[in-house]
Structures are given as structure tokens and as C-alpha cells.
Structure 1
């Protein structure tokens, strides 16, 4: 079995950027990707300088070719196991195994959507979550914000920057304070109480939000808060588990803890991108992958220097 210096698990922006840094440092690198990126439903990647609006699949296709151009390898597959006996061994769903001296985990997150009929079908189109990722595309439209936690108050203010026609659907959010009511009123944000029953869709487009009782509020776009889950179950056998992350006291999901170099608590296992930072966008994930790849290269150099000194002294 061929042994790689580094196995990169996940072929998105973070993984490919890390692989690029390592391949350009003449490391043997294998990228394993299951082609199920979080941003697959989106039409384009935004806030990625010089590539704004590029389809996600096109961005990663270009990245793969660049990594391959420097001698890196890319294979399709889903990693289901990871173990260590000196070196790391990763197993794929089809039974294939690979060995590597280091692991770089860049598998990203999975979004758990609010349980509202019709919402999942519109996800990534006119049901959105991030004003920076998709806000410009719905500017000046009739935008709704579905509140499932106190984070909706932050989100609704961000989307208010993009349109004068904003409605906050309280749905299952905690009761608002007097100060919060005042802030919403001051910004001209309409508030609708009661639970949302379903989304109304006509001709493949969102047209409204139906409340329990049947009242429909016309909307062209709906922002939601998702709960995110780190896609890293295969790390359990290495003793590495995702931890809960919070923002403003609200649980937003799970992620893999890393230090400033991208190193996890398990020696030799590194991680970067959304799997470590739920708030990271594509460009910041790419930057994190680059820096972590550089850190892995120096980690290997440190090990190789130590072994060379020991061999010279023996």
C-alpha cells in the first residue's frame, strides 16, 4: 500500500488549498472527496475575490486540477473509518484503504433545517441563511426571517440592511423583551407572531409564508437559522469528537476544536474550514486550509529533522 505524507479528507476550498500548499512543498498528498459539499444547492460562491459568483462545482474542479498539476492525487469516496498504528489508515465505504503520516480533515458541516414543510425544497435558492453569501441576490425583495432562536434578532438586522421590506416570523423563538421590540420597530421591521405552518411556492418560486390558521404573508425570500453538525463521525475511533459551539449564548451546532495551527488534540490530525469554524465562508476556509497545510509541512519537517539527528548520532 502506498503511504502518503498527508491524506486530506474533504475536497472543498479548505482541503484543496491545504493540498496545494503541501504539494507545492513536494509532499505526497491524497485528497479524498465524496462530492457532497454544503454549498451544492447554491448557484454561486460569493465574496471570493476574483471568483465572485462562480458555481461551487466549477471552483472545486479548477482546484482539483491545480492540485493534480503539482503532483497531488484526488480520488472519489466517502471515508468511514480512521485508525492509527504508527501511521494513519483511513477506510472508504467501498472497502478501499489508504495510509498517511498525517491527516487533514476538511469535511465541512451538514445543515439541519427547521422542520417546516416546503422549506428544504427551496434551500439554497430563495430560502437562505447568510446575508453575505446570498443577500445581494435578494436585495430590495420582500424578505422574511424565520425565528427559531434568539439568533434571529441578529440575522433580521443584517437582512434589514438589504431591503426595506423585512418581516420577522417569531415562530418558535423565545419571547421578545421590551428593548428588542423597540429596536425592531425603530428599524421598520415588521413582526408576525404565531407558528409558521408551511411555505407557499408557485412556478418554482417562493411566494409566501403560511401561518397556522391559514393566513399567508407574501414573501420572495426567507432567511433561516440552521443547526450545523460537523461531518466527522469517522474520527471517533481516534478519540476525536466534535464539541458544541455557541454564538451569543445560543447553540449553533458542533465543530472540531483546533489550535491556531489547525492541530487537533490528537497528534498528527489537523483540521480546517467549516468543520472547525461554522461561521467561515468559502474564502476564509481556503485561507485556513492554506495555513494548516503549511503547518503540517513544518510538523513533518520537525519530525524528519529529529529522526535524521537521531540516525546521525547512532
Structure 2
């Protein structure tokens, strides 16, 4: 919002206001740091009906969870604004963050939690049902489609793995090869688990009375389904870091692009940490929130170290003056 009053400088600017960013901001605000969260308002799980597998909050709508998180950050003096970061650059004593509306703020440290974009297979109808009958994560959605007809679309390097996982929730699982046919060993594994194999390219998602009914193959065959599982290509949102020399790289598993960090969340640019889906493409809400909290603790410790070095330098300078005066 253009009317939001911003400080000239913050101890930490958090780029992204999802679970990782808000939990990180909460930890930092409670550590009495000045912290700003800039949130573009595009959470990955926005289409989902509820967040699952999160202790104490199972089933809560994603928007409600984020509203609660914002309120908690603000309770401790943290600031959350709606906006998009256009670029982040170094200023010699930290960083300058420029928003898309032209506003700029300075920060001692950055926590990048901007999440990712799921690139869906180019099959007509998938995007419209995404987050509802078109799914990707069994731990997020498996219970909701238990014992129903599930079709896994061969669309990425994790597709066969997805089929094996979803078999835990239903005995009615079909694997449609599409662009990722299983090899001989994988096919044997699927058949042994009672998973039906269908070879063919998918033309479109079939919908009747606003309800998904299956996948229509190019040869006209309809593979009936109550839910369709896809492997998306996951691409981290990090283009605004180009001026810092930070860029996404291909994930080792071949599932997309992520921003690499060390185990503490630190990137290869001093003063910049990352947490959540921007670096861990498969992190669920709970794991992303935990990573945000852990990175925030590391950032606070780093700030304490810097402040301690500065205090020691001042202390030594004063002591030198006192000693010099006594000798005069």
C-alpha cells in the first residue's frame, strides 16, 4: 500500500510473507529487531482449501493462517506491507531494497522467503483445477482423496515416486505415461503395487458439471479419475537478487530451480539468508515455517556478532584515550 509508512532502515528486511517469512519475522521481532516484511500476496498454496499436517492448525485456510501470522508479527513491533520487491542491491553497509512502486528501504540483513512458482504441464484444464482435484503432494492432500480413483500424470522426474506414494491412500491408482513413461524396473514396481499402467499422451482434463471426471487421451480414451496428480516444475522467485549476484540454479533432483543455501540458510552473499520454498522446493508449511525461524535466529546471532565487534572497537578506542590522558 502506498500509504504505508516505512523507516529509512531496518535491521532485517524479509522478502516474502508466507509461513517462512512470517515465522522468521516473528522470531526477529521478538528479538527486538526492527523488521519489515514485504509480501507480494502470491502464496503457493492459495488455491488449497486448507493447510494440512501442521500441528495445532490442521485444516486452517491458507489465508487465515497468514492473517494470524501477520497479526502476531505486528504484535511485537514488526511491520508487514503489501508490495513486490523489484530489486535488492548492496550499499556498502548492508542492502537497499527497492519496491515495484518506487519506495526504497535500507537493511542490515536480508531474509529471502519469496517462495516458488509451480509450472504445470501444458495440458488444457489442469490449471483451472489446480489445488482442488489436481494435486501434487500426498501429505497435503492424500487424506482428502483417500479410497478414491487417483490418476498420476507422468509429467516429471518424481511422477513414478508420486504414484508409489499415493498408493498408500488408495487402492485405485492409475499411472498415465504421458511424457514420462516408467522404465522396466519402475513398471514392475507399479504393477506389483497394484497400480494400473496406461500408455498415451493426454489431450485434456475432462470436466462435467464443474467436476473433474478424468483425463482424455489423444486417442479419445477417457481415463476416469476423482483426482489427478501432477509433478510440477518448481521455480524459485529470486530474480530481484540479480544485482547481488544471487541466481537460482537447477535442483539436483531435476525438479526445478532453487536458491542454494548452507544448512543455516545462509547464501553465498554475506548478509543474505533464504528459507522456505525458495531454497527447499518440497518444504511443506510446517517445514518452511521452521526454516524461517532457524534462519532468523542465525541472522540475529550474526547481528549480535557485528554489534559486539563494534562495541569492542569503541571500548578499545576509549581505553586508549584514557591511558593516553593518564600518561600525559
Q: Which residue does the alignment assign to 1:253?
A: 256
1:246 counterpart SS class: coil
Report the aligned-residue RMSD.
1.0
Aligned residues: 310
CA distance in 1, matches of 2:21, 2:219: 47
Q: Which residue does the alignment assign to 1:220?
A: 226
CA distance in 2, matches of 1:16, 1:203: 39
CA distance in 1, matches of 2:148, 2:181: 27
Q: Which residue does the alignment assign to 1:285?
A: 288
CA distance in 1, matches of 2:267, 2:221: 50
Q: Which residue does the alignment assign to 1:97?
A: 104
Deviations along 1:245-294, one digit per CA (max 9) or x if unpaired, are 133xxx10111111122111000111101111011100000000001101
CA distance in 2, matches of 1:170, 1:123: 20
Deviations along 1:163-199, one digit per CA (max 9) or x if unpaired, are 111110000114521x222221111111110100101
* Paired residues of 2:181 and 2:199 also in contact (CA < 8 A): no
2:251 counterpart SS class: strand
CA distance in 2, matches of 1:47, 1:100: 34
* Paired residues of 1:150 and 1:174 also in contact (CA < 8 A): no
Per the normalisation by structure 1, the TM-score is: 0.97
Deviations along 1:17-72, one digit per CA (max 9) or x if unpaired, are 11111110100000000111011110100000010010010001000000000000
Q: Which residue does the alignment assign to 2:31?
A: 25
Q: Which residue does the alignment assign to 2:134?
A: 127
Q: Which residue does the alignment assign to 1:48?
A: 54
Deviating runs (4+, > 4 A) in structure 1? none
Q: How does 1:172-183 map to 2 (within 5 A)?
A: 172-177=179-184, 179-183=185-189
CA distance in 2, matches of 1:67, 1:186: 50
CA distance in 2, matches of 1:39, 1:304: 38
1:295 partnered with 2:301: no
Which one of 50, 63, 68 corresponds to residue 62 of structure 1? 68
* Paired residues of 2:156 and 2:232 also in contact (CA < 8 A): no
Q: Which residue does the alignment assign to 2:326?
A: none
Unaligned runs of 5+ in 2: 1-6, 318-328
1:204 partnered with 2:210: yes
Deviation (angstroms), 1:202:
1.4
Unaligned runs of 5+ in 1: none
CA distance in 2, matches of 1:10, 1:129: 23
Deviation (angstroms), 1:122:
0.5
CA distance in 1, matches of 2:294, 2:222: 49
Q: Which residue does the alignment assign to 2:85?
A: 79
Deviation (angstroms), 1:138:
0.6
Per the normalisation by structure 2, the TM-score is: 0.93
